[in-house]
Structure 1
Amino acid sequence: MKKLIYSIIVFVVSIGLLVGGLELFSSYKPSISIHLDAPVQTKKSIVIHADQKKVWTILADVNHWAEWQSDIKNPELKGAFRPGHSFTWKSGGLNIRSDIQIATPLTKIGWCGPALGAFAVHIWTFTTLIDGSTRVDVEESMEGWLVSVLSHQFQTGLDTSLDKWLGALKATAEKQ
């Protein structure tokens, strides 16, 4: 029995050291575009029947994300929404710290950041259509040791997540 307990402890410690080492030696570069060599990538679009300023402002108002996006918990941006600033949030049980890379008023938003075993780049583009509606294009890439191991699950999760983001953004902008 002692041998079994010892073996379990050694196994758990070994896994902890392996994960810690992978996290410690992982290096990701901030970017203003998605990483085209990442194992997980998604591009999605939606047309929102609201003006571009309203849609851009809703997404840039990080501190209020949880009010319209049910998967987001505790979003917090200290300071202005601009490149060089960071915000924290929780999604899918993960605590995330994102660094704003792009904040071009009314046209583009981009952020990137690490989470356990992953690094994501999110790029949002806003275009006014001839009828006054707004087309929102979102691209995201994910990479990292855990993403590489579980790429199918991450791809499925990312596709579902971005569909929810876009749907919630549309519903919020169109009801205001």
Structure 2
Amino acid sequence: MSGLRSTGLRAALFTAPLVLGLLGTAAVPAGAADSPTAHPGTSLTCRGAGVDPDALVRHRTEIVINAPLHTVWTLETDVANWPSWQPPVSTAERLDHGRLRTGSAFRWTTPIPPNPSTPDTSLEITSTVRQIERGACIRWTGPAIGEGLRIDGVHVWNFTKVRGGVRVSTEETHTGAQVEADVPTATRILREGLESWLRDLKTTAEAAAHSPHH
């Protein structure tokens, strides 16, 4: 692999929804209240642990979801069902059973569209929950591995009850030779991916909350 352009394309694909940002198919809602908001302030933590403080590639963003905390939390932690509401997630499987807890691991895949440096292929991500507080926060870490590519990620989620729903805040860092070769591009694509993830979560949770069977 050579060249920043191909490096940036490869680096795009750690978080599954980043494919949406890469392809330019994730439309941003017109209403500001419905859109993820960048939050460059203090890093998020879960039980005192946060993202990688030395990572060059990082982004934090948040959104308010008009749905009960239980609905939002269940969607986000029911990993095996991610493909049902996140189109870029091809497969997702738990490597243990029961409620998501400290030490839980899950493996998920996302397709990589053809680009100048790789053919149609798939990226495999193995995530392990390091800290979790039910209804409040999750922190997981793990590698994403593809042909000629490895990215190590740390991802933190915070869930806070607010009037009318839940504020979901998320922050992620990436390290690895490929992303560090083009930090601005990798950061932009990370931002687009996290925002796509939040929009999908908001859309799905609000639809579930307002369905007649809820």
TM-score of the superposed pair, with normalisation by structure 1: 0.78
Higher relative contact order (CA 8 A, sep 6+): 2
For structure 1, which runs of at least 5 residues remain unmatched after alignment? 1-30
| Paired residue type of 2:108 | W
Matched, 1:70 2:87: yes
Deviation at 1:32, TM superposition (A): 3.3
RMSD, aligned α-carbons: 1.5
User: How far apart, CA to CA, are the structure 1 residues paired with 2:188 and 2:153?
Assistant: 15
Deviation at 1:79, TM superposition (A): 1.3
Larger Rg: 1
- Out of 88, 103, 121, the residue aligned to residue 107 of structure 2 is 88
In the alignment, which residue of structure 2 is the partner of 1:51? 68
Deviation at 1:151, TM superposition (A): 2.1
For structure 2, which runs of at least 5 residues remain unmatched after alignment? 1-47, 113-121, 209-214
User: How far apart, CA to CA, are the structure 1 residues paired with 2:134 and 2:159?
Assistant: 10
1:40–1:141 contact (8 Å) kept in structure 2: yes
Matched, 1:33 2:50: yes
Of all paired residues, the percent bearing the same amino acid is 34
Cα distance change of structure 1 residues 145 and 43 upon mapping to structure 2, 3 Å threshold: same
1:111–1:122 contact (8 Å) kept in structure 2: yes
Deviation at 1:36, TM superposition (A): 2.1
Extract structure 1 runs of 4+ deviating beyond 3 A. none
Matched, 1:106 2:125: no
Show the 5 A alignment for 1:121-160.
Answer: 121-129=154-162, 131-160=163-192
User: How far apart, CA to CA, are the structure 2 residues paired with 1:57 and 1:84?
Assistant: 18
| Number of aligned positions between the proteins | 145
| Paired residue type of 2:141 | C
1:117–1:147 contact (8 Å) kept in structure 2: no
Deviation at 1:65, TM superposition (A): 0.4
Deviations 1:74-110 (A, max 9, x none): 1111313111121000134310101111221111111
Structure (1/2) with the larger helix percentage: 1
| Paired residue type of 2:103 | G
Cα distance change of structure 1 residues 125 and 67 upon mapping to structure 2, 3 Å threshold: same
Show the 5 A alignment for 1:3-14.
Answer: none
Q: Secondary structure at the match of 2:50?
A: coil
In the alignment, which residue of structure 2 is the partner of 1:172? 204
